Chains A and B, each alone.
Chain A
Amino acid sequence: MWQWLYKLTSPKWFYTISGQLMPWLVGLTTFLLGVGLIWGLAFTPPDYQMGENYRIAYIHVPAASIAMGCYYMMAIMAAAFLIWRIKMADMVAKACAPVGMTFTALALFTGSVWGIPTWGTWWIWDARLTSTLIMMFLFIGVMALRSAYDSETAGGKACAVLSLVGVVNVPIIKYSVEWWNTLHQGASSLSLSNTAANPPEIWMPAFFVGFGLFGFYLIAIILRTRNEILIRERKAEWVGEVLSATLLVNQGEV
């Protein structure tokens, strides 16, 4: 267990394993997203109140949960970087910010276009929407902060502190619909009964899209982290070998 954890902190190990894992991850993600999206868009029955419009939920809910998960991941990586000085953790944290930002933007956008016909407004300053917007600004802030530093380590530390301060916002997003009176609805309970308001035939596709989008999220993080490894570890011997091998292959196209 500890040995495995220790290995995780090695950029070389991460680069090798993620490279081997990638084709499987891409295949599984494509399958899950394909099934979930086609199922959710074309095969589930319309909602009795919202009609076909509720199909936005199949991307809105997974996008929002993964955006929150992404913030937690960034904060955990930030803590690992601050406490144990693990360079690898900082590289993953750096990858989290832009990915989390786009997922939060997706949650906000899909929520807005969903709100226009159902709520009669695309935006309201209720607790759920506002705290989610703050999360997007935190992601943007972390990216801006990093770009303001010339030193990789100093920038990483500053970003880690901001990420850890901002993590308080994530449970606020989660429980905002319970703590305050919001226009945004609370979490729908999933029922196993087919006669319930939210039967399996409605929420099953969301699981496919959810796991598919999680797979995609991992792919996005891995792609960015691998780039970061090649840049930061360019003086390491093994990176030199990887670079010259890739350069030979790509000499024609780049």
Chain B
Amino acid sequence: MGSFDSFSDFLAMGGYATYVWSAYAFFILVLIFNVWQPILSRKKYLKQQLRREQVQQERAQAQQKREEMTNGSAT
């Protein structure tokens, strides 16, 4: 393939495999980190907002129930 005779030649990188591949591995890590981290924090934030919304709904429902009960005892 290309400038190399075989795939194993390509992997060997003319004896510089450790250096070349560790550099490219770090490169891939940087790419993954920069996408994965913001996506994860977005999910976390959305989850938090969802919980907040649920708590608010539950509170509103409880409030409504209480009002109904007091109204009921009054009449």
Contacts and interface: CB of A to CB of B under 8 A. Distances in A.
Interface string B17-51: 01110111011001101110111011101110110
A230 B42 CA distance: 9
A114 interface: yes
A226 B35 CA distance: 13
Contacts of B30: 63, 102-103, 105-106
Given A227-B45, A230-B45, A251-B50, A42 B19 contact: no
A157 interface: no
A146 interface: no
A45 B5 CA distance: 12
How many chain B residues sit at the interface, stated as a range, is: 20 to 34
A42 B2 contact: yes
Nearest to A230: B45
B72 interface: no
Contacts, number: 105
Interface in A180-228: 216, 219-220, 223-224, 226-227
Contact of A51 (B14, B31, B34, B43): B14
B50 A247 contact: yes
Interface stretch (A10-18, A53-61, A134-142): A53-61
A37 B31 CA distance: 13
A52 B23 contact: no
A117 B19 CA distance: 8
Nearest to B40: A227
13 contacts: A51-B15, A53-B14, A53-B16, A56-B24, A59-B23, A105-B30, A223-B34, A227-B42, A231-B45, A246-B46, A247-B46, A251-B50, A254-B46
Interface of B: 1-4, 10, 13-16, 18-20, 22-24, 26-27, 30-31, 33-35, 37-39, 41-43, 45-47, 49-50, 53
Interface of A: 37, 41-46, 51-53, 55-56, 59-60, 63, 98-99, 102-103, 105-106, 109-110, 113-114, 116-117, 216, 219-220, 223-224, 226-227, 230-231, 234, 243-244, 246-247, 250-251, 254
